[in-house]
Structure 1
Amino acid sequence: PLRLPLQDVYKIGGIGTVPVGRVETGTIKPGMIVCFAPVQLTTEVKSVEMHHESLPEAFPGDNVGFNVKNVSVKELRRGYVASDSKKSPASGCEDFTAQVIVLNPPR
C-alpha cells in the first residue's frame, strides 16, 4: 500500500498546495484519493512531479511533489503520511510494540 511520509509542504502560486516526500511503498498517481495520517484528511491528487517533470505514476524511492485539491498548507505538516484512502489507509496510534535487533553492538 502507498506510504509517503511528507518532508515538506509548499504553496506554489498558480498551482496551490504541494506536499513533497519520498514514496516508501506503493505508488501515487494523478486522480488518486489520498488520506493524510494522523489527521485523516482526504483529498484528490491533481498531479505528480519529480524534478519539474510531470509523472503518470511515482514508485518507491521516487522523491516527488504532488498537487492536492482544496487543502491549505496550514492543514499539512512534515511527518504526516499520505496513503491510498481505498487500500489500507495509514492511521495514527498512541503506542506500539517493536522487536529491535542491534546488528553491530559496541564492544
Structure 2
Amino acid sequence: VDTEDSLDFFVSRLERGLLDGIKFIVQFDLPSVKNRERLWERLVPSSVPGRDGLDFRSLAKQSERLNCVQIANVVYRAAASAALRPERERSVRMADFKAAINDERRRGETAVDRWMKSQYV
C-alpha cells in the first residue's frame, strides 16, 4: 500500500541486513487447519492428474506450522516427483505430498526466521 508519506510492502523473507532499516514489523500468524485445507484445495489445480484421490483435510493436518509459501513449495515438489515418473504413473499421490512436507520441514528455518521469532517472544 503506497500512501503520500509511506511505502508499505509485504514479504515472507528478508535478508538480515535489511531488517535494521525497517521501522515496523507486523507478524502474521500461521494459517489454521481450516485455512491450510483451503490453501491445499486452491494450490493444487483441478487439472492435476490424481487430484481427486487427495485428502486435503489430512494434508492440512500434516502441514501444521507451514506457511503459505512452504505449502506452495510442497505442491511444486510433489508435482515434480509425479512428473519424473513414467508417463502412466504421473498422477500425484498422497505419498508425494507427505514426502514433500517432510522435505520442506527438513529445510528448516533460516537465521532470519529465527531472529524474527525472537523479536516477539
With normalisation by structure 1, the TM-score equals 0.26
Larger radius of gyration: 2
- The structure whose RCO (Cα within 8 Å, separation 6+) is larger is 1
Higher helix share: 2
